[in-house]
Amino acid sequence: MSSTREKSLVYAVGEKQYIGLFLTAADRRTQAMVVLLPDWRGQSGLARDHAGYLVQLGYDVVIADLYGDGFTPTDPAQVGPLVKRLLENRGEGVKALQGCIEEIKIQLGFSGPIFCLGYSAGGMVALDYGRTGATLAGIIVCSGLLKTAAPGMPAGIKAPVLFLQGTQDEVSTMDVVNAVIKEMDEAGNNFRFELFGQTHHAFDNPEAGTDPTARLVYSPRSAARARLAIADFLGAANKSSV
């Protein structure tokens, strides 16, 4: 197993500074980059775990900064205000992600394929960035905070998209899933949905617990299946982009 090196990736959008986290294997070169848009907790232990899995698969990873200044919230009481801010400023999230990708090319000198992988609120940002017509090798939305395009926002996405969602997700219900499917179909996008039965929002997060009556519920089975689907999608899309 390769050891992992980490360093900060500082970038700015306007007067606001962001601090991403770059992770790479110490003993090899990568063929593709994954920009990981985490859930509301930012660069948490879970985000690092997801990133570590990708590094072991052979990818470099940048965990993007959702809020600015590298802020990593720790109190669940912060969820509402933080997610509300992301929802009310969807264009700001897109600009921040664009700034991150630009600095990956400049600071890291990376010129290969770039993917975006978003969890929960990070999935909304990744999908909105794709809707701008961004050139990416692929987009993955895992247990995403799904939203159709905002008013005035285009719906066409150049990159292939993989959605990994639970059928019992109370944050992004099946009505929302169907609305996103309708939008994606009408826009002629290249996308695939994988739906996991008996699966709730945050199914990738062990800290969510396994109480089936809760709003957020961890599913080891669905989390493992999602990781395999992510690996397969990245491998196939990376080959087609070479």
pLDDT, tens digit only, all 242 positions of the chain: 568 999 999 999 999 999 999 999 988 778 899 999 999 999 999 999 999 999 999 999 999 999 999 999 988 888 899 999 999 999 999 999 999 999 999 999 999 999 999 999 999 999 999 999 999 999 999 999 999 999 999 999 999 999 999 999 999 999 999 999 999 999 999 999 999 999 999 999 999 999 999 999 999 999 999 999 999 999 998 777 65
Question: In the numeric block, which tokens belong to residue 100?
Answer: 């991150």
Q: How far is residue 194 CA from its own chain's centroid?
A: 16
Please give the single-letter amino acid code of residue 123.
G
Q: Rounded to the nearest 5°, which phi and psi values hold at 238?
A: -65, -40
Cβ distance 137 to 131 under 8 Å?
Answer: no
Task: Report d(CA 147, CA 87) in Å as an integer.
Answer: 9
**Whole-number CA gyration radius for the chain:** 17
Question: In the numeric block, which tokens belong to residue 142?
Answer: 């895992």
Cβ distance 133 to 158 under 8 Å?
Answer: yes
- Looking at residue 17, its pLDDT comes to 97
β 60-63/16-25 pair status: antiparallel
Task: Report d(CA 24, CA 169) in Å as an integer.
Answer: 33
Cβ distance 57 to 92 under 8 Å?
Answer: no
Domain annotation for the chain: domains and CATH numbers: 4-241 (3.40.50.1820)
Classified as helix, coil or strand, 48 is helix
Cβ distance 129 to 102 under 8 Å?
Answer: no
Task: Report d(CA 13, CA 130) in Å as an integer.
Answer: 18
How far CA 144 is from CA of 126, 141, 156, 170, 233, in Å, comes to 10, 6, 19, 11, 17
Q: Rounded to the nearest 5°, which phi and psi values hold at 133?
A: 90, 15
Cβ distance 18 to 65 under 8 Å?
Answer: yes
Q: Which neighbouring-strand residues pair with 226?
A: none
- Looking at residue 107, its pLDDT comes to 96
